[in-house]
Amino acid sequence: MSNKFHTPHINASPEDFAKTVLMPGDPQRSQFIAETFLEDAKLVNNVRGIQGYTGTYKGKRVSVMASGMGMPSIGIYSYELYNFFGVDNIIRIGSAGGISESIKLRDIIIGQGASTTTNFAVQYGLEGTFAPIASYELMKVAIEEADKIGASYAVGNLLSSDIFYNADPEASKKWKRMGILGVEMEAAALYMNAAYAGKRALAICTVSDHLFTGESLDAESRRSSFTEMMEIALNTAIRFEE
């Protein structure tokens, strides 16, 4: 008999989730991954349309569930997965805007760290500034898997921003000067939740547009580019399944 654990955001049982969850922002991307890559995928959560699935990939259990947009949203879902549903690893797979001149469209950024504009860390009452970083174990394996498929990737610092439309036109230039590779909106909160729970997290992002060149991918190109990122994340996930 299933032992459902009801939170305001997830209606499932701990056993419904694998130990590793891939977390795209978009619920439709969650569905795409489940239908394209997973065998015997089962919808285990659909509260507020945030689709979560569990199936098998190369014979190993893997879950995928959307996070929604922004750090408040991924902060909720990752906290509940880590603390209430027994999840050990969350791998964010999403899009990023390129900032560094070394980053090109369709490149993959593996987020070693996540600088941020958020006040998410205030809740911990730390007497200083917390530096959100990825799990070295997850990151090391993801790099190995990226090398196996010959992906074009960079490892470094992401910017997790609370702002999509910034009133300061110089903001991106300032972050670029500090070596930021790309900007997204979720990784820092995920990394902090993982640190507080004693779990592992990693953000892997595909560059869908570039803030300085003005280049961007159309919908179909984004779909095909994201597939490579998904394969890296899936192959990483199964190496942490018993």
Catalytic residues: 209
Measured in degrees and rounded to the nearest 5, phi and psi for residue 50 equal: -85, 90
Cα–Cα nearest to 191, from 158, 236, 153, 162: 158
Whether the Cβ atoms of residue 202 and residue 110 lie closer than 8 Å to each other: yes
Q: How far apart are CA 239 and CA 237, in angstroms?
A: 5
Backbone dihedral angles phi then psi of residue 15, each to the nearest 5 degrees: -70, -10
**Distance (Å, whole) CA 62 – CA 83:** 18
Q: Which SS3 state, helix, strand or coil, does residue 93 take? A: strand
**Distance between CA atoms of residues 95 and 230, nearest Å:** 11
